[in-house]
Amino acid sequence: MKLTIEHVSKQYRDNAWALRDFNLELRPGVLGLLGPNGAGKTTLMSVLSTITRATQGRVLWNDIDLAQNPDAIRSVLGYLPQDFGVYPNLNAVEFLEYLAAVKGLDAATSSRRIDELLNLVNLNDVRKRPLGGYSGGMKQRIGIAQALLNDPQLLIVDEPTAGLDPEERVRFRNLLSELSGERVVILSTHIVSDVEATATDIALISGGTLVAHAAPEELLQQVEGKVWEGVVPSNELQSIKQQYLISGTARRADGVHVRMLAPTGLSGAQPLAPTLEDAYLYCLNAHRAGAAA
């Protein structure tokens, strides 16, 4: 099971490049695709899910070119788009039955699967309520359920935790981790904590290009010994921000506690164990500095 992305670029009609020469090879596991807003994450998801065509490059599923045989990927694909709608007059069961039919699942299989999925996403009690009356988080859970209808080998979820309450978010993270065993899961998000909890691999994307692709531990290794916490007076905070890459601040009685990324900290600063958020900021900042140079 292998998904290969080779030199993929995508240019929109206004001549803006959303992706540039993007390369990646994925094996079973959860890939956390991290990047700022507008980095090209959703465009990459759309290309992989066959919704849009790459301007250059190719995508292969088990060495089958998506352009030659898009159904090779569609038949194993579960896709949760960032922005999707539902049919408001249908209830959850009817909506999932409809999509199961469109996906080509037989009646008996889909019926059992829908029951299980509604339990899984915790919507069993409202399964007969028209979707038009669902909250944003409940619609998101229906989206998660439809993505899992066909037991996909390739699961692409774009900002899946948007609109979910903290409890449902934890549930979904757990679910993703469990699902990852025998399938390729791509989790696109800008929420680092979602990736931290689930990803076996991380790809950082910025400006349509791949900034880094590594295991979380490797990314953390890059900022080992570069994270500091110092205390500064409030009136010095602005000048500190101009000198250092700041990943967090907290106002306390003794001043502002500043979490900074730098080879050496302020005088008196204490070294800290890095988090994935530190690594994310550090890599993006280094990439931007390199691009500017």
Give the residues lining the site for another protein (CB under 8 A): 46, 49-53, 66-67, 70-71, 74-75, 77, 79, 81, 83-90, 94, 97-99, 101-107, 109, 112-113, 116-117, 119-123, 125-126, 128-130, 132-133, 135, 138, 143, 146, 148, 150-151, 165, 167-168, 170-172, 174-175, 178-179
* Least distance in angstroms from the C-beta of 86 to another protein: 7
SS3 of 209, please?
strand
From residue 242, give the alpha-carbon distance in Å to each of 89, 246, 261, 293. Answer: 54, 9, 12, 18
* Least distance in angstroms from the C-beta of 61 to another protein: 12
Please give the structure tokens belonging to residue 70: 């898009």
Could you give the strand order of the β-sheet that contains 209-214, starting from the edge strand earlier in sequence?
Answer: 77-80, 154-158, 184-189, 29-34, 201-206, 209-214
* Least distance in angstroms from the C-beta of 89 to another protein: 3
Pick the closer one to another protein by CB: 99 or 269: 99
Can you tell me the distance from the alpha carbon of 3 to that of 158, in angstroms, rounded to the nearest whole number? Answer: 17
Element (H, E) at 252: strand 245-252
* Least distance in angstroms from the C-beta of 51 to another protein: 5
Pick the closer one to another protein by CB: 113 or 259: 113
Pick the closer one to another protein by CB: 126 or 286: 126
Can you tell me the distance from the alpha carbon of 164 to that of 139, in angstroms, rounded to the nearest whole number? Answer: 10
Can you tell me the distance from the alpha carbon of 141 to that of 149, in angstroms, rounded to the nearest whole number? Answer: 13
* Least distance in angstroms from the C-beta of 252 to another protein: 33
Pick the closer one to another protein by CB: 49 or 188: 49
The DSSP line for 19-34 is EEEEEEEE-SEEEEEE
* Least distance in angstroms from the C-beta of 196 to another protein: 18
How many other C-beta atoms are found inside a 10 Å radius of the C-beta of residue 271?
Answer: 13
Can you tell me the distance from the alpha carbon of 269 to that of 44, in angstroms, rounded to the nearest whole number? Answer: 40
For the four alpha carbons of 165, 51, 72 and 212, in that order, the dihedral sign comes to negative
* Least distance in angstroms from the C-beta of 120 to another protein: 5
